Amino acid sequence: MHLTREQERALNGEFGWAYAKALEIIVKVGESLGADRLISISHAHISGVSYSNIGEAGLEFLRDFHREKPRFRVYTTINPGCVDYGMLSKVIDNKFVEKQRQIDDVLVGMGARPVFTCIPYYHRPPMPHENLSWGESSAAIFANSFFGARTNREGGPLALASAITGLTYYYGLHKDENRVARVLVKLSPKVADMPLSLTGLWVGENVRKIPFITLERKPLEEVKALLASMAASGFHAMAVLENITPRNTYGIEIEETLTIEVGDVERYIAEKPSGDDEVLGYIGCPHTHPSELILLKKLIEKYKSPRRGRLLVTIPVEFLSTYEPLIKFLVSRGVDIASGTCPVVSTLSRRFDIVLTNSGKAYFYLRKIHGLRVGITGIRQIVESVYR
Ligand code: F3S
The type of residue at 31 is E
Distance 13 CA to ligand 1 centre (A): 36
Residue 328 in this model has a pLDDT that exceeds 80: yes
> Is 228 close to ligand 1, i.e. is its CB under 6 Å away?
yes
- Predicted local distance difference test score (pLDDT) of residue 29: 98
User: Tens of pLDDT along 227-285?
Assistant: 999 999 999 999 999 999 999 999 999 999 999 999 999 999 989 999 889 999 999 99
Rounded to an integer, the average pLDDT of 346-363 is 95
pLDDT digits (tens, 9 = 90+) for 183-214: 999 999 999 999 999 999 999 999 999 999 99
pLDDT confidence bin for 216, thresholds 50/70/90: confident
pTM over 0.95: yes
Ligand 1 center to 175 CA (angstroms): 27
Ligand 1 site-directed mutation target among 50, 287, 339, most atoms within 8 Å of CB: 287
Is residue 74 predicted with pLDDT exceeding 80?
A: yes
In angstroms, the Cα distances linking 86 to 58, 199, 232, 305 are: 24, 33, 27, 21
Confidence category of residue 376, pLDDT binned at 50, 70, 90: very high
User: Using one digit for the tens of pLDDT, what is the confidence trace for 118-170?
Assistant: 999 999 999 999 999 999 999 999 999 999 999 999 999 999 999 999 999 99
What distance in angstroms lies between residue 91's CA and the mean position of ligand 1's atoms?
Answer: 16
Is residue 52 within 6 Å of ligand 1 at its C-beta? no
Specify the ligand 1 atom closest to the Cα of 79.
4
Tell me the per-residue pLDDT of 278-312, one tens digit each, with 9 for 90 and over: 999 999 999 999 999 999 999 999 999 999 999 99
Which residue has a Cα nearest atom 5 of ligand 1?
Answer: 286
Q: List CB contacts of 330: < 8 A, sequence separation 6 or more.
A: 293, 296, 297, 300, 313, 337
Query: What pLDDT was estimated at residue 369?
Result: 86
pLDDT above 80 for 327: yes
Distance in Å, CA 7 to ligand 1 centroid: 35
Query: For 43-68, what is each residue's pLDDT tens digit?
Result: 999 999 999 999 999 999 999 999 98
Rounded to the nearest whole angstrom, what is the distance from the C-alpha of residue 342 to the centroid of ligand 1? 6
- Say what the pLDDT of residue 241 is: 97
Quick one: which atom of ligand 1 is closest to the CA of 137? 5
What share of the chain in percent tops pLDDT 90?
95
pLDDT confidence of residue 218: 79
**What does pLDDT average to over the chain?**
96
